[in-house]
Amino acid sequence: MSWHRHRRPAKQKARPLAGLLFCARLRRALAALLPLFTLSACEPRQLREPSDAPAVRVAPVPIDALADSLRLSAELTLLGAFELASDDPRFGGFSGLLVDQGRLLLLSDRGYLWSGALAPDQPIPLRESSWRVVALTIAGRQPDAEDLARTGDGTLWVAIEGDHALAPLPPTSDSVRLELTPQHLPEPIASLPRNGGIEALAALPEGGLLALAETRRGEGHPALVLANGEVSILSYPAGAGFAPTAAEWVAGYLLVLERRFTPWGGFAARLVAWPAASAADLTFDTAAVRELARFTPYWAIDNFEGLAAEPPDREGAIRIWLITDDNFNRWQRTLLLLLRWQPQPALARASNRRLSEMSSSGSSASDTLFK
């Protein structure tokens, strides 16, 4: 396999708390620092396969408890918040999220792929007895898996941060272990730090993948468009102090989840939308980006890393899922948010018109990747 590389030009305060709330935040922040100062959290691991079937508890979190931490645009509504927990030692560390074939896929950075069946319009949006878990391995050891995306030809791809690679999942539905064959990425990704490589992965509407790196280089974060056997190099301009952690393309928008961490302020995140009907529209012009949500560094907010979006409903509204990575740390938690996004009509019409033009011209997302 070979890629032909060409370049495209890139266009380019935490609130103080007092008393007990400050102490709680400080304790959470110091605990969260531990996995950030060691590579053990992202190094390959020996496989663990408990024999019991996986069980996950999903408990509602009062929306009022998050009110001081969330700033949502008028287009975005918080439908629900849930805390996920399990006694299974494989559970946690979720950095990737995908809605796929009626299930919510949760990718752990310790190399486990969890999934639960969605329960639409139910108080608890995931069916209790539906959970499955699959171990992902490379040469028998589990990789630092960060995000996943399914391309138009049906292939499910996983981003491997430490190896600076992408790997397709073998087409199987009943295996408890899947051996991956990584496809290593070229520069500028190949020379990034092991714990600062590909963090976000999105399937392109016309075929191929967009990969965004966590490490900043110059004015932006290295980004690769992988399609038609070629690699295009971009630079992603995250917000000040933020880095991309997840991405998904939906209905003419590229949604990107960005995260920030400081020892004195804890975690913060923001969700942004870039109007772009195809990879050719990705100029990353900051005048066009729209911030849909900001999660301020407050005690209720944790380490948001995963993002998934469902196709628009009949009203054009899009359901968005966000999940936190608890770093397998008892001071952190797995928090799952469900939001409803109703894009502004003018921008939605422009995006749909562009997608219709692509469809009429015969654009396809079939077998275009890695030729």
The mean pLDDT of 17-30, rounded to a whole number, is: 43
Domain boundaries, the chain: 4-360
The mean pLDDT of 34-50, rounded to a whole number, is: 44
The mean pLDDT of 328-342, rounded to a whole number, is: 92
The mean pLDDT of 233-239, rounded to a whole number, is: 95
Q: Who wins on pLDDT, 57 or 354?
A: 57
Which of the four pLDDT bands, split at 50, 70 and 90, describes residue 173?
low
What pLDDT was estimated at residue 43? 47
What pLDDT was estimated at residue 345? 62
Backbone angles phi, psi at 45, to 5 degrees: -125, 160
What pLDDT was estimated at residue 262? 83
| Contact assessment for residue 203 and residue 145, using Cβ atoms and an 8 Å cutoff | no
What pLDDT was estimated at residue 351? 45
Which of the four pLDDT bands, split at 50, 70 and 90, describes residue 145?
very high
Across 163-177, 254-268, 289-303, 352-366, which has the greatest mean pLDDT? 254-268
Whether 119 shows a pLDDT value over 60: the answer reads: yes
Which of the four pLDDT bands, split at 50, 70 and 90, describes residue 349?
very low
The mean pLDDT of 168-181, rounded to a whole number, is: 84
Record: fold of 4-360 = Tachylectin-2; Chain A (2.115.10)
Whether 106 shows a pLDDT value over 70: the answer reads: yes
